[in-house]
Structures are given as structure tokens and as C-alpha cells.
Chains A and B, each alone.
Chain A
Amino acid sequence: MSEVMYAGEPAIEAYGLGMRYRRGWALRDCSFRLPVGRICGLVGPNGAGKTTLLNIAAHVLEPTQGSISLFGEAPGSAEAGRRTAFLAQEKPLFRRFTVAETLRLGRELNPGWDQRAAEDIIRAGNVPFEAKIGTLSGGQRTRVAIALAFGKRPDLLLLDEPMSDLDPVVRHEIMGILLAEAAEHGTTVLMSTHVLAELENVCDYLVVVSGGGVRLAGDVDELKSVHTLITGAREGDGLPVALGHHALVESRTSGRQFTALVRPEGPVIGPWETDTPNMEELLLAYLRSPDAPPLITPTAQVHRQGFGTGAVAA
């Protein structure tokens, strides 16, 4: 799939994006590219700038530095506004509106509104249409907010921790809807999340932000394939010298064993077990070691930029 999408049109291109609040930088020098049609997980520790990034993309915040474009348009433009749907983290809704009125809001304010799609999502959760939003449970409210975002029929969905207050069954169901919608309409999704399971099963693209910058970005399979997880017996402190020429992301020791995640610069030969890391191992390694060199694969690189350190030969 990554080969097909390789030169795909960008849905999002962020270039040198930075956001400074009064207490300091929330996001700094953030550059990445998200090709059209991908379901992208946006991952990072708390306070890493995920919400800031999504808010900038949704034109809720103006960046302090840099620029971002959605389908080649600025976030504030009419075109970008029409093609993008944003579900904010707190899922704001008018508390005194009924569910039906909330859907009417979507219908009144969006030219391409799909009432049936929105109603189907509501009905699947048995949420009564005449109920006031203020009387709904957190999960039901999230469902209405998601219906509102989906009913807009966007080309790009920006979701800020969409599933955080849903139970596992509903979470699974909503994820199913998300995947079906995205597959049917070619919707691009950028979704911040803490739930690794969502990433593993749903996302085929990944952007990791940490310490304000992008640490890892690209196609999931590609990211996995360029890393190797090495397990072997310890020889003194740290890594075996023979592994020194590979780019080390993280190494850990437990007892007489060591485990290291590396980006091999050639064949890994030695008395060790090698394996392709899974998404969780990859993520944890990068999040735990902020000094590891960032990696942005070619599909995730913004043109006109020279990321010497992070680039991987295609």
C-alpha cells in the first residue's frame, strides 16, 4: 500500500511549525507530510504538543512560526474549512440543544452534510434524538460529536483523542465506523491517541511528537522495517562494541540480557536474536529516549527541506 501512495498528494504539509504560549514552547520546528487517504496516529507524551498541532490544523490557533497547509490551502481558507472536520478533545457541544438540533446545526452550517450517515451513528448507540445533550452520558456525547464530524463528509478528519471516554465495545464499534468511512470515501484521518491498540489495528501512518518536535513520521510498515530489535547476552556495560556502527535508538538491560532497538546501517551479524519490532516497542523506544535521532521517512518529508539526519534511503 505504501508503494501506491508513495507519491500521493499531501493532505497535510506542516513546515517548521511552532507554537509558543506564555509559559514556553508547546510545539517547535514541527515538519511532516501526511499523504491523502492515510489513517495517521499522532502519538506523544502528555504535553507534547499534539493538541496544539491539531488546533493549528483546525484553524483554532494561529501558529507562532512556520506554516501548515491542508490540501494545499491555508487552514483558515474556505476550501480547507469545508474539507476538514475537527473533533476537539473536550468534544464541545451545545448542552441545551437536543441531539436532533445538534445534527441540524451540522446540516445548516455544512453544504455537503450527510444526514443519513450522522443519524446512523446516533441510532447505532440508541441515543434518543429528542434528548438534550446535557442529559447524555459522556460516551453518548462523544458519539454525537463524532456523528457531527462524520456527517460533514470531510476529506480530512482531525480527531483529538476521540475515544478517550468510550468503553471498549463502543470504542471498537466507532473504530469500525471510522475505518469503513475512511475506506469508502478515501478520507484522510489524523488522530491523536494514547491507546496503542488503536494504533496497531487502525493506523497505517504514524507521527510521533515529543519534546515539541517530530521524532518519528512515516508509513507504519516502513518504519517497522527499518528498525531491528536485537536481544542478546550482555558483555559488560552497555551495548556490544560490534553493534556500535548502527544508529541506536534505545538499549535496555535486564539481568544478563540486553535489548536494543537500532536502525541498522548494514547487516546485523553476531550472536544475537534479531526481530522486527512491533508498533508498541517502536513507540516506547522513541518516547523513552528523547536523544535518539528523529526519523522521517520520505513520504512524510515536506518537499524543499533537507532532513539530513532523519532521511532514509528509499
Chain B
Amino acid sequence: MSTFTRSSTSTSTGSTSDGKNGTTDGTLNATTTEATRRPRLSGMTWLVWRQHRAGFWAILAATALSVAWIVYQRGQLVDFLDGYGYPGKSLDDEGGKFQQYKDAFSFVSMGLQAIPILLGVFLGAPLLAGDLENGTAKLVAAQSMSRTRCLATKLALAGLVAVVSTGVLSAVFGWWWNPVKSDVTFMDWTSGAAFNTTGPVPVALTLFSVFGGVAIGVVLRRTLTAMVVTFGFTVVLQLVWGYFLLSLGNVVTVTTNKGVNVYPSLPHGAYEIDQSYVTGSGDLVGWGTCSGSQTEAARQVCLDKADVVGWSVQYLPMSQMNAMQWFGASILFALTAGVVAFLFFWGRKRLV
């Protein structure tokens, strides 16, 4: 970002006055030198960072802590797996020792799934609603900076913090999961715990939640109300997302004709969506057909009578996970772009 500039002379000494502050006659030295020790922000970027620095730092610090925790936990997991002899030995019959690693995993996963809601409510909703409520939007509007640029800087910085934090966490969490990714007992890849915490999905969900919160904030113009409504919005978003999650993939159907006693073999990690019997004419009948038969022979007669020749199983292979995540994320990115367009349209019309 071009607005980030490092003042090289004062980094070392911390006492020389920045050239830009030459007009101050050194009267504000105490405050300006403190600022020059760090990378210097300028213009609108400085203002947005200064205004929201508590929130931004909290998000980044929480991210850093989580990353450290994940790195530590992954080390523990890898040590255990090496000692255990995985993947040579299956984790299924390992007993209770593995449980603690699973628990640590699902605990962090739950935290990651809450990020879109948390950032939407605490970063998105107050971002502009606070300015509108306190009248500081008027203060900023009264300066020489163009309104579109103010809005762009604000959205960009909030978006950047959200993307950096969720992007890093998603990558690190995926890295943690990787050694045991193929083990379905560890975590089901279609569950929110895996699908919504890796790849582009956490970034997309968070961005949409945050900008959705911003939009709710500008419409309601009250911080607290906006936060409550944004909470509802982000929760509904999670529910809707979870509902349509499996629709993101291309369902694969496998059919057999070797009778019902031979179940088709699915690829490793496949998520089974539906199973039914298939008849000789290709029709599907429920797999409960003939389940009322008393004996095996009677069942066979019943099945023959219904002309059942085998199984038809619908499933999503794990190889689709990445594509599904990107497909879903691109839908969310498109929705986010729509929200941003609305914000700019609104910003030109009516700011205060």
C-alpha cells in the first residue's frame, strides 16, 4: 500500500522530527516522534487506523495468538502420530489417547466458525454506524478529502484486516488438518467444522458478514441496533450457507447390478448423500423395500419380484472439496461486491 511509508531516520533515534511536521515548529514533538517510531500512516489511512486501532489490534493480536496455539497443537499432533505409527496403523483402534487431539481440534474449529459472526458484529456494524451516530461522519465530510475516497479507505482497511486475519487462520488451520485430512473419523470434510474453516470459505464468509454489517449500520445509523441486527444477519447467513453447502458440489451417482448384498465401493472420504435400490428397468426404489420380510429367502423373493438388481448411490467425492469451496466463496464474493456497490452508491447520495 502506497500510504505506508517508513521514516528511516527516526526509526533508529526516535528523536528527529519528521520532515512533514516541519511546520509545527516542534511544538508537538512529544506526540509526533512517538508516531514516527512506527511505520507511518498518512492521510485517510492514518485516520481510519487511529479511529479503529483498538479493534484492529485486537483482531490481529487474537489472530497471532490463535496461530501460535495452532502451531503448538500441530506439533503435538504430529509427535503423537509419529509415535503411534500413523498412517501405517489405523486411528480407529487407537483407544482413548487420540481423543485429546480431536478435542483441541474441534475447539479451535468452533472458534474459527464464530469469526464471521464476531467480526460482522464488532467490526462491520459499528464501522460507519458509529460515525453516523456521533456525527463524526460530518466532521470527516467537512475536510478536503473526497467522500468516495474516505469510504474506500475505510472499507479497504477493515476488509484488509478481516482478510489477513481469516486468510492466515484458514491457511494455518488447513495445515494443522492436513496430516489427518484423509481420516474421516477425525473430521468430516462436509461438516462446517472443516468446510467453513479452510480454504477461501472463512475469508468469504467473514467479508460478506463484515460488509453486510457495514451496510446494516448505514441503514440503521445506530451502533447498538446495527450490532444486534448484524448478529441476526450473520447467524442466518451461517444457517443458509450450511443448508446449501452440499448443493455446491456435482453429485456423483454410482449404480451396481450385482444384487443388494454387494455395496458399491465409494472413493475414500466420499460423502454419501442418498442410497436406493435400482430395478432392472432403471427405476429407483427405496432401500427399505422388502425390509419387512421375515427370512432372508423371503426377502430375496420380494426383491426379485420388485426386479431389484443393485444399488444406486449418490455421493460427493472429497476431491471436490476445493472446487466446492471456491465455488461457494465466489458466490459470497459476488454478494459482497454487491454490498460494496450499494455502500458507494449510498455514500455519494447521503452521508450524514
Instruction: Please give the residue numbers on chain A whose beta carbons come within 8 Å of chain B beta carbons, in ascending order.
Output: 55, 58-62, 76, 78, 81-82, 84-88, 90, 92-98, 100-101, 103-106, 108-112, 115-116, 119, 129-130, 148-149, 152
B294 contacts A by Cβ under 8 Å: no
B141 lies within 8 A of A119 (CB): no
Neighbouring B residues of A88 by C-beta, 8 Å: 135, 138-139, 142
B221 to chain A, nearest CB (A): 14
Of residues 116 through 175 on chain B, the ones whose CB sits less than 8 Å from some CB of chain A are 134-147
A110 to B145, CA, bound (A): 7
B31 contacts A by Cβ under 8 Å: yes
B50 contacts A by Cβ under 8 Å: yes
B41 to chain A, nearest CB (A): 9
A74 to B144, CA, bound (A): 14
Nearest 6 interchain pairs by C-beta: A92-B135, A109-B143, A86-B142, A60-B352, A82-B144, A100-B31
**Cβ 8 A contact of A93, one of B44, B47, B139:** B139
**Cβ 8 A contact of B141, one of A58, A62, A106:** A58
Q: A90-B135, A100-B31 are in contact. Are A78 and B142 (CB under 8 A)?
A: no
Q: Closest A-chain residue to B143, C-beta based?
A: A109
A95 lies within 8 A of B141 (CB): no
A119 lies within 8 A of B135 (CB): no
A108 lies within 8 A of B42 (CB): yes
B350 lies within 8 A of A98 (CB): no
What are 27 inter-chain pairs, A to B, with CB distance below 8 A? A59-B141, A60-B141, A60-B142, A60-B351, A61-B350, A62-B350, A76-B147, A87-B142, A88-B135, A88-B142, A90-B135, A92-B137, A92-B138, A92-B139, A105-B47, A106-B143, A108-B42, A108-B47, A109-B43, A110-B144, A116-B23, A116-B24, A116-B25, A119-B24, A129-B27, A129-B28, A130-B31
A108 lies within 8 A of B31 (CB): no
B44 lies within 8 A of A109 (CB): yes
Q: Closest A-chain residue to B35, C-beta based?
A: A104
A106 to B28, CA, bound (A): 14
A129 lies within 8 A of B31 (CB): yes
A111 lies within 8 A of B43 (CB): no
A81 lies within 8 A of B146 (CB): yes
Neighbouring B residues of A130 by C-beta, 8 Å: 30-31
Instruction: Please give the residue numbers on chain B whose beta carbons come within 8 Å of chain A beta carbons, in ascending order.
Output: 23-25, 27-28, 30-31, 42-44, 46-47, 50-51, 134-147, 349-352
Beyond A62-B349, A116-B23, A152-B143, 14 additional contacts (C-beta under 8 Å) are A58-B142, A60-B141, A60-B142, A78-B144, A81-B143, A85-B142, A93-B139, A105-B47, A105-B143, A108-B42, A115-B23, A119-B27, A130-B30, A152-B144
A85 to B142, CA, bound (A): 6
Neighbouring B residues of A58 by C-beta, 8 Å: 138, 141-142
Neighbouring A residues of B46 by C-beta, 8 Å: 104, 108
A60 to B138, CA, bound (A): 7
Neighbouring A residues of B143 by C-beta, 8 Å: 81, 105-106, 109-110, 152
Q: A90-B135, A98-B31, A101-B31 are in contact. Are A108 and B44 (CB under 8 A)?
A: yes
Q: Closest B-chain residue to A97, C-beta based?
A: B50
Q: A93-B139, A104-B46 are in contact. Are A109 and B31 (CB under 8 A)?
A: no
Neighbouring A residues of B43 by C-beta, 8 Å: 108-109
B24 lies within 8 A of A115 (CB): yes
A119 to B138, CA, bound (A): 22
B138 lies within 8 A of A109 (CB): no
A159 to B124, CA, bound (A): 32
Q: Closest B-chain residue to A84, C-beta based?
A: B142
B59 to chain A, nearest CB (A): 18
Neighbouring A residues of B350 by C-beta, 8 Å: 61-62
A60 to B147, CA, bound (A): 10
A119 to B32, CA, bound (A): 14
A111 to B43, CA, bound (A): 10
A115 to B50, CA, bound (A): 19
A104 to B36, CA, bound (A): 13
A181 to chain B, nearest CB (A): 17
A109 lies within 8 A of B145 (CB): yes
A113 to B110, CA, bound (A): 50
A205 to B144, CA, bound (A): 27
A5 to B179, CA, bound (A): 82
A115 to B29, CA, bound (A): 13
Q: Closest B-chain residue to A129, C-beta based?
A: B28
